[in-house]
Structure formats: structure tokens, C-alpha cells
A and B are shown apart, each in its own frame.
Chain A
Amino acid sequence: MLNRLRHGENTAEDGSSADLSAASVSIRKADFNAPFPAGLEYAAPARGSWNIVHQGMLIPEAHQIFVCAEGCLRGVVLTAAEMGAGERFSMISIREENVLKGDMEDLITDGVSDILKKLRTLPPAVLIYTSCIHHFMGCDLPLVYKRLREKFPTVSFTDCYMNPIMRKSGLTPDQIMRKQLYSLLEPAAEKKENVVDLIGSSFPMEETGDMMRMLRNGGKTVRDLTLCRTYAEYRKMNEASVCISVLPPAKAAGEELEKRLGMKHLYLPFCYGYDEIRENLGILSEKLKIPEEDRESGIALAEKALLAAHRLIGDTPVAIDYTATPRPLGLARLLTEHGFCVSGVYADSFTGEEKEDFLWLQRNAPELVLHPTAEVSMRVMPRHTEKKLLAFGQKAAYFTGTRFFVNTVEAAGLYGYDGVRRTAEMMMEAYLHEKDTKTRIQVKGLGCGCCV
């Protein structure tokens, strides 16, 4: 029988005693930007966030080839299968004899060649994912790609990585993957002043969002990988004179495009604070020489939606997680400022962009509880709520055990004052409509077109 206990008590999900002291800290006592100790980690079965397979599949017609030990292939194979993208996915398994022979370069070259020869049609692009063993052994990847490009001159190859040991040093796998998504773009013969690329998001930006409206009304042609249907369309993204990223893990991609293709990169981070939104839209207007939208009406609509949401949700506790939004503290602040009862934020660390909101919450909501998602005691943390709770994101839903949650990842295409408005609307919708949490959150890659 399951125990129904509140967070903070030292009784685990199964009723046994457990040290849960590392599973929560009030923001008053928390360190910025990593409030929890690093160590053995737990992966919650909330699988909506996109992984490197989902992201790679955004490049139309491209084929993915993973090169690693069979045990490591399991997860990515399942992802591809769940997406119904098995035809665009192949793998090369590494065995101990390859390590002993030192023929890693030949294994990739021969394996990829064999796969490409067996495909019905030669794909225009191939993403090769090498793994930590290549890194350990110093596999000469430039040589591998040189040989493959010579052998298949009509195919564009790029290097992707499934390298968990590099997860906490240098660029993260997420940053690298988002960067590599644009590595197949070649320098354009001519840049087009009116073309703008939106980069690094897994979802298209909503047409109602302030940024998109400004771009459209300013006469800009917007290109976005998530909207490309053919490889030819993708390749035309190289014509943009400006690229815009709004998510922290996409920033490196923009910097790379600026450096390599000479695009002007604007990093205009997704946020909830009206001042920051105003600043970002001001930069957009200035740099692209396009008019700003009516700020006051945007704010008014956002405020109206927040007021309506608060009227409906009232004092119901709200828990937020970092997979749903890149600014969980920004959202906690916005909601606190508007009278909501934010009970918890689930995040293992925060980006530097969240510091101001962190300090604000320390001053104005000192008892707000922060929870990790990967700290190992979260595995046994009781996952129940006695009263109704609204979660913003799958991990928050999982850890609180609520059936009322906003099912979203990475702020899926929201932006600006309109993003605030839509956030409030999504909360109302989630508050009113109960969901089967377990069924919803166990599907990998929310919105990627899962076929199971």
C-alpha cells in the first residue's frame, strides 16, 4: 500500500525510511546556480523532452547512423522506432575486437558505406553519431569524414555525438546537437537581407507571438528548420542575413552560424518579465529595422489572461519544472507577482539568465521550495498530492503525482507578451482538464510525431 505523505518527510514512496534531505531546499537557503550536490543520478520517466535522435530527425530526408556498443544503442533505437522513423535510422555496433584491433576508423567508414549502399535511395545528408569510446580512443574522425566525403560526393555528412562523459564539460550534448543541426548549411553565394532564420528550437514559433508578428509585419521571410519539409528547403536557410535564437542551448548554434556563415546572430532569450521582453523586442526592431508592435495592448492581453487564470486557479499550488520552460524561476516570479501560490520548482541547476529572478524570489518568496530532478533520492520521494495541484511540465507532474498539468516542453514556440498570455491560457486549460499523467509523460519527444 502506498503511503500518502508530504514532501520533506523521511519516508520513501514505498513506505520505507530514506534520507530525503537532499530532495528539497527552500530558495532562501539555496545556492545559485546549482543548489543540489552532484552525484548518483536518477532519470524520471517523464520523457517528453527531445533527445538527440528527435532533434536530428528535424533535418528533412537526412539519415542517422549511430556507432556505439549495442547496450548503448537501445535507447536511441527505441526513440527512432517510437517516432516511426526506423527507415531513417541505422546503426553500427562496436565490439571489443574493434577496440583491440584499433580499426575504429575503418569500422565507421566501411559500416557507413555498407549502410548507404543498402538504402533504396541515397539520402542527401547523413548524421553520424559517434560515442564515448571514439572519444576515449582518440578515433581520427576528421579522417573518417574525409574518406566518406570522397566516397559519397553527393552526400553531406556531419558529425553528431552520443557522448555522455562530456555531459558536464564544454558544450553540453544538447548544445552540440542544436549546433550541428545547422552544420550542413553551406556558405550562400548571396545573402538575402529580408530572410531571417529562427534557429535552435524544436518547435516552430507561434504565429501569434510578438516576435513572429514583428517579423511578418516587417516583411521578413522567416525560415525555421522545424518548418522545412525538404532538404532543399533546409539548405536555403543559408541565405539568411540574420539568425535568431531564443533558447539557452541554441545560443552556441547562433554563434557558430555567425562565425561560419557570416549571419548576424541575435540571442533574444525567451522570458516572462515584461521589461526583458520589451528590451528583446526593442533589439529585434533596431537590428532588423522593423517596427515594434503595440506593447501596451500586448501587456494588457497578458495581464487579462493572468487575471483570469488566477481567478480560476486561486490558491491551488503550482509546481514548475525546467523541462517545460527554460525560465522556471522567471515563471515562478511572474506567477508569484500575480498572486498565484507557487509551491515548488523542479530543476537541478539554473542558467545565469535566471539569477535576477532567483534573487527576487529569495527576497519575496523565501519559502519557495526547490527540488532537484536528478538527485538520487528523488527516486524514492513520495509522489502524491493530497490536494489538487497544478503542474507546469511533465517532471513536476510526475514528482507531485498530479493529474492536472501543462503538457509542454521547452516553452514550445511561445514568445513575448503573447507567450505570457498563452502560458496563462495553458494553465487554465490544464487546471480544468484532468489527464492520464502516466500515459502522457512516458512518450518520448513530445510533439515529435510519436507513433505509439
Chain B
Amino acid sequence: MIKLAFYGKGGIGKSTTVSNLAAVLAGKGLKVMQIGCDPKADSTILLRHGREIPTVLDLVRNRKDDFTLHDMVMVGFGNVVCVEAGGPTPGLGCAGRGIITALEKLNEKGAYEVYQPDVVLYDVLGDVVCGGFSMPMRNGYADKVFILTSGENMAIHAAANIAMALDNFKGRGYAELGGLILNRRNVKNEEEKVGELAGDIHSQIVGMLSQSRIVQEAEEKNMTVIEAFPESTMAEEYRVLAEQILAVSGPVKKPENAEGKGRVC
């Protein structure tokens, strides 16, 4: 099992990118679990075609501990296991604490043992604003962190902060920085600016995505690009990105089958 976390400034396209990656990986025959760690609870919306899903925190709030693992998940496109951590009442409560509770609850209910995903994708809200949002970086959660950024200054600033958080955690056995994903906004000298950031944080740009209308069109259909426009250039970009990420993260070893033969993707 590989576990990957995706961070980046709010609105940079994390959920869209992660959902498309999930769809690509599922298409390769891998069992994928996507965990949205955002109070908005819309990380997996494209995989579940806009259907409502109870968030983990809603369940904790409304039913205390009287719910099962299956109440927390919805199987979406490509059999991707979708989970939304959810968040506190807007304007109240603590979102970071919410992420911690949700991830602990998933562990407690045996999410990883029961679904045995080959790949777990954590889609994490924006910047690392407090300890709660660094939870997916911790030992036992993600192995690698990928940061989405464009060439916009605010996105670069957020990416630098996230990289700094990872650097602060050096020696703790937390996730390593896998690299940057450039999600283009077509700003001036975009690739150079992001390349410079990669140099500053001693990392690399692992993949790039174009700004494309296709992405919005797929979203209007409540689908990933992979599902809505599988033949599009954009779909191909997501496939390439998935390969680039797997190349950095190491091969996914499928559990041994009944004949005792494992499989490497």
C-alpha cells in the first residue's frame, strides 16, 4: 500500500487533480481510497457524481460512536472508496481537531484493514495551518507529500510554507516531500517560478497540468475528466501525472492473491 498526501493553496485544484489521479489509478486495476481532509467535504464529489456522503465528523457529532465503517464511506467511480472527513460548524469549532478525529476514527474502525486499498490519497485543505492539518504527514499516514502549485505568488507562498512544515518534521519519520505538481494558471514565467521554488526547497517538479476548459466541463457533469472525457488530452495529462507520481512513490505492491502471487503495478 502506498499513501500519498496532496497539499496546496485553497482553490489550486487539489480535489480535481486527486480525483482524476484516483480515477486513473483505479483504471489500472488498483484499489484506491481517497480521503478528503477538508471541512468543505467536496474532495470526492466528482467520483461520487455529486451524491451526498455523510462526513466522518457528522457521524461522530450525530451518532457518537454508534456507526460502522461502511457508514463513513461511499464507493464511487472506478470503485474508488470515498471518505470525507468533514469539519466543524462553520465559524465554530476546530477544523484541525476535526481532521485528527476523522483520521483517528478511520483507523479505529479499521478502514485500511477492511478495504485494503493499494493506494490511499489524502486530499488536504490548503496550507498547513495547524497541527491537525499536518496529521496526514505523520508516521503511519502518508509516505509522500505532493504540493500543488501554480506560478501565482500566493500559491508559491503556500507551497513554500508546506515544504517548511515538512522540513520542520525532519527526523520525526514523517512523510517525505515527493515533489511539486505545477497546475498551470498561465501566469508569466510560470514554470521558471515554480522551478525556482523547487530548487529552494531541494525538490523537483514531478509533473505539470495544463489549464483546460475540459476540466470545468467535466466538473459540470459532476465527473472526473477521466470518466467524462477519457480520450481528451487532459485525461492523458492526468495519466502521465499518475505515472510520474508512481515513479517517485515506488511501485504499488498488490497483496498476494489466492495462488500466492503478488502483482506490481
Contacts and interface: CB of A to CB of B under 8 A. Distances in A.
B139 to A, nearest CB: 7
Nearest to B131: A138
B151 interface: no
B193 interface: no
Interface in B149-176: 172-173
A139 B172 CA distance: 13
A140 interface: yes
Interface string A139-171: 110110010000000000000000000000110
Given A136-B94, A139-B131, A169 B64 contact: yes
Contacts of A189: none
Nearest to A137: B131
Contacts of A170: 65
Contact of B97 (A102, A138, A142, A146): A138
B36 to A, nearest CB: 18
A136 B97 CA distance: 6
Contacts of B65: 169-170
B65 to A, nearest CB: 7
Contacts of A136: 94, 97
Nearest to B97: A136
Interface string B114-142: 00000000000000001110110011100
Contacts of B130: 137
Interface residues of A, number: 11
Contact of B131 (A102, A142, A146, A169): A102
A93 B64 CA distance: 32
The size class of the interface chain B forms with chain A is 10 to 19
Most chain B Cβ neighbours within 10 Å, of A137, A138, A142 = A138
B246 interface: no
B26 interface: no
Interface in A163-181: 169-170
A311 to B, nearest CB: 49
B131 A143 contact: no
Contact of B100 (A102, A138, A146): A138
Contact of A143 (B64, B94, B172): B172
A140 B138 contact: yes
A138 B173 contact: no
A137 B172 CA distance: 17
Given A102-B131, A136-B94, A169-B64, A143 B100 contact: no
A169 B130 CA distance: 24
Contact of B96 (A138, A140, A143): A138
28 contacts: A102-B131, A136-B94, A136-B97, A137-B96, A137-B130, A137-B131, A137-B132, A138-B96, A138-B97, A138-B100, A138-B131, A138-B132, A138-B134, A138-B135, A139-B131, A140-B138, A140-B139, A140-B172, A142-B139, A142-B140, A143-B138, A143-B139, A143-B172, A143-B173, A146-B173, A169-B64, A169-B65, A170-B65
Interface of B: 64-65, 94, 96-97, 100, 130-132, 134-135, 138-140, 172-173
Given A138-B131, A138-B132, 11 more contacts: A102-B131, A137-B130, A137-B131, A137-B132, A138-B96, A138-B97, A139-B131, A142-B139, A143-B173, A146-B173, A169-B65
